[in-house]
Amino acid sequence: MILIVFALARPQIGNSYTEIESEGIDIVLALDTSGSMKALDLSLNGEEANRLDVVKAVVSEFIKKREYDRIGMVVFGTQAYTQCPLTLDYDIIQGYLSLIQIGIAGEETAIGNALATSVKRLLKSKAKSKVIILLTDGENTSGEVSPIKAAEVARDNDIKVYTIAVGSSGLVPVPVKTFFGMRKVPMQLSVDEETLKEISEISGGKSYLAKDTDDLKKIYAEIDSLERTEVKTNEFAEYEEMYLSYLIPGILFLLAAWLLKWTVFLRLP
């Protein structure tokens, strides 16, 4: 009888799950690895560090904050090449980021080629938003492609370019190998802020100047907030009726009890 009462209560078991719908952003990180990135005018964890090491640390934190977006990476110096194609596997791109070294693409700075290579990675993208974040500490001194022409191609393909000029202009300490070992030598360095600003204006992006590590962190944080993926969450639940598991045994017990009762009654003299 108790089992039948349980059955009338219609017990259920169920599973709930969440379905996430998102239209991700495709982002290409274009990073300068030219010789001037060894300049020691930034700091990392309170200690003097070269520009590239600081950039790698800040970019790594930027990647950690992204969700649902494909991220790719282009590195450039005298040449420009794809370090990592667009991917949703952030562990892979973090691995490629850690492998970047100063001078791996040459000592000069091919901003136009870097931008053109980044645009090429996004041409077949079907993402609702396509973004390039180009960081450099210098001027366009190499390559066949004009930075302005590359920016126009980006604009024509609905690709937004954010540009970041990093480091100080003027005399900056740079480590140089001498007969007596490594020495810090003041060198005259400059960054073409005007061209970077024009690139961002043409493509509908924004230009930034990072003179120190805090500036750089704030810039990537701002870009992170400006370019966010819209995510829709749907909650679902599935239930399975369990009343038969109680009802059938309950009926069988009642039937058995009834049969037992009549069997005993018939045996009485």
Instruction: Give the span between the Cα atoms of 20 and 8, in whole angstroms.
Output: 37
pLDDT digits (tens, 9 = 90+) for 23-66: 689 999 999 999 999 999 999 999 999 999 999 999 999 999 99
The encoded tokens of residue 92 equal 């892979």
Q: What are residue 214's phi and psi, to 5 degrees?
A: -60, -40
pLDDT of residue 241: 58
Domains annotated on the chain, with CATH: 24-231 (3.40.50.410)
Question: Between 151 and 184, whose confidence is greater?
Answer: 151
Q: How confident is the model at residue 99 (pLDDT cuts 50, 70, 90)?
A: very high
- Return the DSSP state at 111: H
Is 104:37 a contact under the CB 8 Å cutoff? Answer: no
pLDDT digits (tens, 9 = 90+) for 197-211: 999 999 999 999 999
Please give the model's pTM, rounded to 2 decimal places. 0.79
Tell me the sheet residues that pair with 27. Answer: 71, 131
